[in-house]
Amino acid sequence: MGLPTVQKHWLLQPVSRWHLILFLFVYSGLSQQSDSWLQLYRSHQIYELKRLNESGAITDPHWRAFIEALFMDAADSAIARMAGIYFETTDAGLKEVIRQRIGQYYYARGYYETARRIQMDEAFVRMLLAGQQKKTRYGVQIGAFLHYENALKFKRKWEDRIRDVKVINKIRNGSRLYVVVAGGFRKREDAERLKEQLRSEFSLKGYIVQY
């Protein structure tokens, strides 16, 4: 014999309330963390953010990607990466600092009207960043070499076992590197999955790169 409808509903209520409380607790914790990272950025403590990111203390993937972009040598690549983050994150504070950073990028290059519109016009920002985002690809760096011949040799070693392996040029600390990259994805999450697959199947320690 089934329980009356009212009694069934009463039995479910504690579970629903507990799930709601748990959700609010987790959301509140993430929000507080995000606020602390935002405060560090606004007080120009970007090296502290870098330290926290490298230690694993930055848990939000979009904040992690933003901090990595702050230290990219190529400004164009950094802006393209921030464009992708802008469309993926729901963090209003992070969106705001991305707009500020991109506005500074255009202002420094003399595009004063573009910089002004970035701060004032959301539709313009989305149109501008959509163009940047289309250029962006995420992959997994599995090797880096000073000489192209060594990079090519490493690529050939893996291309029969890993699909879509390529050699790209990167400038780091003023020096040219030939980086061997697996994959080319529109979304960072897809590159993260490939990174874990390479680690588990081939014991390759890779790093997410944008190109």
**Same domain membership, residue 129 and residue 174:** no
Average the pLDDT over 193-208 and give the result: 94
**Same domain membership, residue 80 and residue 162:** no
pTM of the predicted model, to two decimals?
0.56
Quote the Cα angle for 202-204-207, to 5°: 145
**Same domain membership, residue 87 and residue 154:** no
**Same domain membership, residue 129 and residue 143:** no
User: What does the pLDDT look like over 35-64, one tens digit per residue?
Assistant: 889 999 999 999 999 999 889 899 898 999
**Same domain membership, residue 118 and residue 72:** yes
**Same domain membership, residue 35 and residue 107:** yes
Residue bearing the bigger pLDDT, 134 or 158: 158
Q: How many whole angstroms separate alpha carbon 64 and alpha carbon 194?
A: 18
Question: How would you label 65-96 residue by residue, b for 16+ Cβ within 10 Å and e otherwise?
Answer: bbbbbbebeeeebbbbbbbbbbeebebebbbe
**Same domain membership, residue 89 and residue 72:** yes
**Same domain membership, residue 75 and residue 49:** yes
**Same domain membership, residue 153 and residue 54:** no
Domain range for 186? 138-210
| Cα→Cα distances 86→14, 66, 107, 167, Å | 38, 9, 19, 28
**Same domain membership, residue 18 and residue 120:** yes
Domain tally for the chain?
2
**Same domain membership, residue 128 and residue 145:** no
Using DSSP's 3-state secondary structure scheme, residue 74 falls into: coil
**Boundary of a domain, candidates 99, 134, 169:** 134
Between 1-10, 98-107, 151-160, 173-182, the lowest mean confidence (pLDDT) is in 1-10
Q: How many whole angstroms separate alpha carbon 77 and alpha carbon 66?
A: 12
